[in-house]
Structure 1
Amino acid sequence: MGEEKKKSFLQELKVLGGLPWWLYLLCTFAVLAVAYTDTLGYDAIAFIAFVMAFSIALYKFGKILPIWNTYIGGGLLMVFFGCALLKQFNLIPEGYLELVDTMVQGDVNILSVFIIALIMGSILSLDRKVLLRSFAGYVPAILGGLFGAALFGVAAGFIFGVQPIDMIIKYVLPIMGGGNGAGAVPLSQIYEQISGEPAANYYSFAIIILTIANLFCILAGAMLNRLGKKVPSLTGDGTNIMPVDSKLIKEDVEVKVSLTDYSGTLLLMGAVYAVGRLFSKVLLPTVFGAQIHTFAYSIIFVVVLAALGIVPANIRVAARNMQSFMVSVVALMTMVGLGFDFDLGELVSACSPANLIIAAVIVVGAILGSGLVGKLVGFYPIDAAVTAGLCMANRGGAGDIAVLGAAQRLELISYAQLSSRVGGGIVLIIASFFFSFFL
């Protein structure tokens, strides 16, 4: 086993972005040499070339680096912090900082494409029967975790001198938002829309506190698994969330998709975004005085589509495939942009003993709240705590795998996705109210 680990670490570096290492270095040298002589230009292809030259190597390094890849956040977080470090030492020309900002979060805004694709692919890829069967009981379990996290967080805030509203907005919402792409990123967009401040101001702290909480979630998953072995009555066999569930419905992986199906998927993505814009800008921009963000309405619309079962299987599979492309490729571009906006000085100040304790307490609150409510609605409390609690408080899809792996409950991935996506959507809706009333 030791030989395999050593081989995998070294061999992985021989292929970067699908290219042999020497060809990757040749391409990167060509792009950066032309860019740093101010010859590359500032159009879309220049953006693609510039960000991929940096992000591919950083992503691979973060993916294979021990400890970092398991507990910190893997490749995407390495791209984020690596680009922040490059900017901190003034190694990025100002013109390309502006180009990346324009493309990622400015007028072009590929971030919105990334978020909508992630939302739609994640929700539509869930089996409809699983969605309908568990929704009535699972949403209360998610809300129980949210309430427990908020309650424990506010209590910790009194100890460390953090006001309740600041605790909810700066700590609880980012941690319980369903991860990075569907949580911290859209939360920062809502923050910018409502407050008028740059999204990076919110995201920079949100991703730090979320990363800290993710570590505690993984450790807590392992601890809950040990508890389940000692007290079997608190859990099932690791594949079921409730006693009446004999078997999770498995997704049909044999559905074939054509290139034409991706055209329809793109149109559906546009429609989901359009409906979100229509409600957030025209039909129902506020609810009880709170401004509701486009992404929140888009999530509601996709959940309705999934529940009705009117989206064909080929489009659902194409949406999942497109989500995979976004997570594998476009996510690198977005992380470069967010990294260039990040102030590393805030990281040092944020990793204080107080923040570490607060993050741990919020995770404990999520465990107890979701486990208790899960028990009340007929779920196994440990399995509810792992999925509706920890998979809300971790870093989304990658965090789900890490937590479920530590808890030895990978068969519960469908429920974890409900937490990360549907639960994350609930947090976005709640955030719209809190940002509108208290910012």
Structure 2
Amino acid sequence: MKKIKILGLDLKWFIIIALIVVTCCAMDVLPAGMVGAFLFLMIFGSLLDKIGNVTPIVKTFLGGGAVVCIFGGAALNYWHIIPVSVAENCTTFMKGGGFLDFYIAALITGSILGMNRKLLIKAAIRYLPCILGAVVAALGLVALFGMLFGMSAGESIAYIGIPIMGGGMGAGAVPISKVFEGALNIPAETILSRLVPAVALGNAFAIIFGGLLNRLGKVCPKLSGNGQLMKLNDNSLKEEIKEPEEKTIEDYAVGVVISTAFLAFGSLIAALVAKLGLNIHPYAWMILSVAIIKCLGIIPKRYEDAATLWYSFVSKNWTAALMLGIGIAYTDMGQIIEAFSPMYLILVLVVILGAIIGAGLIGRLVGFYPIEAAITAGLCMANMGGTGDVAVLMASQRMELMPFAQISSRLGGALIILMASILVPIFF
């Protein structure tokens, strides 16, 4: 017991702090704002993460700590096990407070700036075919199985396949419902109520299969790059893992500024382009800007190292807190429960399997490891955008693939919305 540490704290001190938080919650005096939300999410997120990572079956087949944090958080909120004030404060911190954006900015910026420049260029060119392979296989399979269950191909594609592959809620299901509204003359709210269960269940299956693919990679090592997307036959493409020469407090500050500045730049470009009638998520512009600057070698090496150092800190210390926050703020347990039926579950499962198979097969053809291609171009197309990306990559233990996951969620999601605007009028 003395050897157990959670959040770097000895178990005794962790329990003392956890009891303080529990007492504050019971008396409804947990500080409001960032202080209370951050404390609650870090303490109980790390606890649930620890439980998930040591529980048999869960740790091996279901994604471990990521799944326990997300669905544990959703259950705590849905059954009101935690006070409403705490749940609302955590939701505000995650959404209005921008913690999710802060986290993803650190991961995208640090992971891209920490990549080998030649590797980034070669991998990006081959990535789009993997996304297309995932989409074609997923929509094709759900259409086929839908017809076997008595649904039309168009209905199963429109209400199950497209929303799952559409990049989440805000950047996926919501704009897709607007596309359907214009084409079908049905209120967007009515359509959205049919799309949400598919998105939620698809996200749940994507997280679970992230853990299963990680397990498959250990059983069949030839299929896995252990977090490396591209097979490397050229020594010049191999990553040189180097720690920054000197770690200083100033480096962390530089990392924070660099990552948040890229997010701000992405938001600026998105706002300017929106005036031209083209709505693309700021994350997409952030990814493109970081990748272009990395390829051109504009940023000094010291700043790249600082961004990578900050990314490592955030990923190691705040991921469990974020997972719990995703469960509380973004995962509606009620919608997931209502959608449960054997036919519906099978159709959602078919979409996920189609995404995995399509991305994995095409990935292998273009020189990627099948498991990494299936996770990024497959599962990260089928989850709930940025929140799902973090969950899937944590479940698969491949957080370093965040840039490619975000390409799937943002650029791939935009592709699905475009496809929906074309396919819906044809099928309906």
TM-score bracket relative to the smaller structure: 0.7 to 0.9
Find the partner of 1:56 among 46, 70, 80: 46
Instruction: Give, in whole Å, the separation in 2 of the partners of 1:71 and 1:399.
Output: 13
The 8 Å contact of residues 110 and 308 in structure 2, kept in 1 or not, is answered as: yes
Aligned counterpart, 2:292: 304
1:361 aligns with 2:350: yes
Cα distance change of structure 1 residues 349 and 19 upon mapping to structure 2, 3 Å threshold? same
The answer to whether residue 163 in structure 2 is matched with residue 170 in structure 1 is yes
CA contact under 8 A between 1:391 and 1:403: conserved in structure 2? no
Distance 1:322 1:168, change over 3 A: farther
Q: Does 1:317 align with 2:305?
A: yes
Count of equivalent residues: 395
Q: Share of identical aligned residues, percent?
A: 26
Aligned-pair Cα RMSD in Å? 4.1
SS of the residue 2:166 aligns to: helix
- Rate the CA distance shift 1:98–1:266 in 2: closer, same or farther, 3 A: same
Partner of 2:372: 387
* DSSP-derived class of the 1:250 partner: coil
Alpha-carbon separation, structure 2, partners of 1:420 and 1:164: 23
Do the aligned partners of 1:391 and 1:419 also contact (CA within 8 Å) in 2?
A: yes
Give the direction of change, closer, same or farther, for the CA distance of 1:275–1:36 in structure 2 (3 Å limit).
same
Q: Does 2:50 correspond to 1:65?
A: no
Give 1:360 deviation, angstroms: 4.3
Q: Which range moves more in the overlay, 151-160 or 119-128?
A: 151-160
Q: What amino acid is aligned across from residue 329 of structure 1 in structure 2?
A: N
**Residue aligning to 2:35:** 45
Distance 2:51 2:342 in 1: 28
Q: What amino acid is aligned across from residue 211 of structure 1 in structure 2?
A: A
Q: Which residue of 1 aligns with 2:253?
A: 263
Letter aligned with residue 307 of structure 1:
C
The 5 Å alignment of 1:265-344 reads 265-281=255-271, 283-285=272-274, 291-341=279-329, 342-344=331-333
Which runs of no fewer than 5 residues in structure 1 stay unpaired? 1-9, 175-183, 230-234, 405-409
- Secondary structure at the aligned position of 1:347 is classed as helix
Q: 2:25 aligns with which of 35, 50, 59?
A: 35
Deviations 1:148-191, CA, capped at 9 Å, x for gaps: 333333443444534423234422235xxxxxxxxx5xx54665
Quote how far apart the aligned CAs of 1:141 are.
3.2
Q: Write the distance in 1 (CA, Å) between the matches of 2:218 and 2:376.
A: 14
CA shift in 2, pair 1:33/1:223, >3 Å: closer
Contact 1:190 1:293 survives alignment (8 Å): no
Structure 1 equivalent of residue 145 of structure 2: 156
- The correspondence of residues 155-304 of structure 1 with structure 2, limited to 5 A, is 155-160=144-149, 161=151, 162-174=155-167, 184=168, 188=170, 206=199, 208-216=201-209, 245=234, 248-256=237-245, 257-281=247-271, 283-285=272-274, 291-304=279-292
CA contact (8 A) 1:31 1:40 kept: yes
Q: 2:100 aligns with which of 111, 115, 130?
A: 111
Partner residue of 2:72 out of 67, 82, 85:
82
Offset from partner CA, 1:78-103 (integer Å, 9 cap, x none): 12222222223322222222211221
Matched residue SS, 2:165: helix
Does residue 126 in structure 1 map to residue 115 in structure 2? yes
Is residue 145 from structure 1 mapped to residue 134 from structure 2 by the alignment?
yes
Matches within 5 A, 1:379-418: 379=367, 383=368, 385-394=370-379, 396=389
1:339-390 Cα shifts (integer Å, max 9, x gaps): 234432333344543344334433443455446645765x3xxx55433334
CA shift at 1:304, angstroms? 1.4
C-alpha displacement at 1:296, in angstroms? 1.8
Pair 213,371 (structure 1): closer, same or farther in 2 beyond 3 Å: closer
1:179-213 Cα deviation digits (max 9, x unpaired): xxxxx5xx54665689798xx99887635323324
The Cα shift of 1:433 comes to: 4.5
CA distance in 2, matches of 1:268, 1:399: 26
Deviations 1:103-130 (A, max 9, x none): 1112x22221122222222322221111
Q: Distance in 2 between matches of 1:49 and 1:30?
A: 11
CA contact (8 A) 1:388 1:419 kept: no
TM-score relative to the length of structure 2 = 0.75
Residue type of the alignment partner of 1:334: L
Shifted more, 311-320 versus 60-69: the winner is 311-320
Report Cα offsets for 1:125-149 as digits up to 9, x if no partner: 2211111233323432333333333
Letter paired with 2:203: L
CA gap 1:34/1:136 in 2 versus in 1, 3 angstroms = closer
Over 3 Å counting, the alpha-carbon distance change for 1:28 and 1:242 in structure 2 is closer
Give the conservation status (yes or no) of the 8 Å contact 2:70–2:327: yes
